[in-house]
Amino acid sequence: MERRDLIRAFGAATALALVPRDAVAAWARVASGIRPAAGLTEAQLALINAIADGIIPRTDTPGASDVGVTSFVDVIVSENYDDAERDRFVAGLEAIDADARANAATAFAALAADARAAAIGRIEALTDRRTEPARTYWRLKSLIVHGYFTSEPVMKDVLKVQVNPGAFDGAAPMPAKATPSGAEHSHA
């Protein structure tokens, strides 16, 4: 099974179960078009975008950056993480970029697609996920996959989930209900 097929299967099986109010609120915040006041820097967002496209690239379906996953991660990290958690995450992003610079002599976001894949593969091969850069990479990957499968375009167009299953009609007619004697009564 290809990685993309595995991710799609995971998303289809769990997307609705994994839509906590934080994801809904984060996507609503992204839709507002207003960036978080204490948001990530442009360089950090470029790094996240490059990693996101390495994890879920555009194929016959939209890629992670196509659905705005980078903005989703920015909102989650900037508005839902406490200061210490955010500082650790940012330091981890710097460790991911430092790994790319040490191995390819350039920033991760500036790498060609094959070099990005190699850098991601190197990090994924690390056996200790508790140390940097693996710790932040796996956390980021989780946010990317979660954001991707909870985004409206993916839920509607890829997973074929009916996001808003019809309108509420408080005056919809009720079917007649049979009484124990067999006579039917209508309730208005």
What average pLDDT does the segment 3-24 reach?
Answer: 54
Split at pLDDT 50, 70, 90, the class of 99 is very high
What average pLDDT does the segment 10-20 reach?
Answer: 46
Split at pLDDT 50, 70, 90, the class of 157 is confident
Split at pLDDT 50, 70, 90, the class of 13 is very low
| Residue 141 to residues 7, 81, 92, Cα–Cα distance (Å) | 11, 16, 13
What whole-number distance in Å separates Cα of residue 131 and Cα of residue 42? Answer: 25
pTM of the model: 0.74
What whole-number distance in Å separates Cα of residue 88 and Cα of residue 77? Answer: 11
What's the distance, CA 81 to chain centroid?
16
pLDDT value, residue 174:
72
What whole-number distance in Å separates Cα of residue 97 and Cα of residue 116? Answer: 11
| Residue 27 to residues 18, 75, 112, 162, Cα–Cα distance (Å) | 14, 8, 29, 17
**Which tokens sit at 54?**
């390495």
Tokens 């995971």 correspond to what residue? 10
